[in-house]
Amino acid sequence: MEKNIKDLEAEFQKRIDNGENIEAKDWMPEKYRKTHIRQISQHAHSEVVGMLPEGNWISRAPSLRRKVALLAKVQDEAGHGLYLYSAAETLGISREEMIEQLNNGTAKYSSIFNYPSLTWADMGAIGWLVDGAAIINQVMLTKTSYGPYARAMVRICKEESFHQRQGYEIMLTLCNGTEEQKAMAQDALNRWWWPSLMMFGPRDEESPNTEQSMKWKIKRKSNDELRQQFIDQTVPQADILGLTVPDKDLKWNEDRGHYDFGEIDWEEFWNVVKGNGLCNRKRLKDRNAAWDNGKWVRDAATAYAERQAEKRVSKAS
């Protein structure tokens, strides 16, 4: 006798509660599938759009060594986007559909990439803070319940850790440099600190997806828990650099064993998420141009694959 949907859902939840991974061909509730398509595709888009603020500095890196490291980091991000699009494809959405959603502005990607990268110190701040925040979120996701996503995260986290160190090293060098260089590092921290805190998403009570995502172990920690973890980890790093975190309410709280911190500007956050940040329009324009300019490469690769397939058929016959 066919199992009814309630039994299937109960069995599914039992597997999750037992800590089993869900694989692409396993039965899953439609909402679980859709939530993953949403989150993984947004994550993939973030990696792809995330290349833009840094790509802006490849040709202006101050030395060959810095240029090679930045180039490698940006290439890694392209790779992360590709693993993640592949993981999302296992859930029944095509890559074309996801790219179309990104290019026509209907898909979300991380708010952080809608801020401009104005100076070389921004390459340091992005690596240190943005990749630092990404790692905290993604280490959690290596234990997420959907197998293909969790496995992609393991490799991505290894590469992110190199990215974070690359950024912190730039900050250290600037902070040990001239007054002007140190001021540039402080200015970058001032501009990237609050947007980095916003990367973790809205406060828990304002986060519509968290409750269900925690039940399904898609998320293992809430937005606020991860944000606090990031602050506790990053403030001592700013102290080592000799920089001041731009938050007058930041204070170690002995009782909580955590830093207390000031109010995030949520109006700014939602404004950026809705498409009205400083660079949202430019990012979409640049992604569309990259897609259009890459058409000849996709056409050539498709024509080559078809020729190879024809050759294999004629050899076999």
**Residues found near ligand BYC in the complex (CB under 6 A):** 38-39, 42-43, 46-47, 50, 77, 108, 110-111, 130-131, 134, 137, 198-202, 207-210, 213, 223, 273
Separation of alpha carbons 194 and 190, rounded Å: 8
Taking the least distance from each CB to ligand BYC, the nearer of 37 and 185 is 37
Separation of alpha carbons 57 and 267, rounded Å: 29
Find the shortest distance in angstroms from Cβ 270 to ligand BYC: 8
Find the shortest distance in angstroms from Cβ 266 to ligand BYC: 11
Separation of alpha carbons 19 and 83, rounded Å: 23
Taking the least distance from each CB to ligand BYC, the nearer of 174 and 198 is 198
Find the shortest distance in angstroms from Cβ 275 to ligand BYC: 10
Q: Which residue is nearest to ligand BYC (CB)?
A: 50
Separation of alpha carbons 50 and 110, rounded Å: 8
DSSP 90: T
Find the shortest distance in angstroms from Cβ 87 to ligand BYC: 11
Taking the least distance from each CB to ligand BYC, the nearer of 156 and 174 is 156
Among 305, 269, 93, residue whose Cα is nearest residue 197 = 269
Taking the least distance from each CB to ligand BYC, the nearer of 244 and 286 is 286
- The count of other CB atoms within 10 Å of the CB of residue 137 is 23
Taking the least distance from each CB to ligand BYC, the nearer of 133 and 238 is 133
Please give the span between the terminal C-alpha atoms of the chain, in angstroms, as a whole number: 46
Taking the least distance from each CB to ligand BYC, the nearer of 43 and 182 is 43
Find the shortest distance in angstroms from Cβ 131 to ligand BYC: 5
Q: Is 257 helix (H, G, I), strand (E, B) or coil?
A: coil
Q: Which amino acid does the sequence have at 18?
A: N
| Residue 259 main-chain phi, psi, to 5 deg | -80, 135
Find the shortest distance in angstroms from Cβ 210 to ligand BYC: 5
Taking the least distance from each CB to ligand BYC, the nearer of 110 and 117 is 110
Angle at 292 between CA 290 and CA 293, to 5 degrees: 65
- CB-CB contact of 114 with 281 (8 Å): no
Find the shortest distance in angstroms from Cβ 199 to ligand BYC: 5
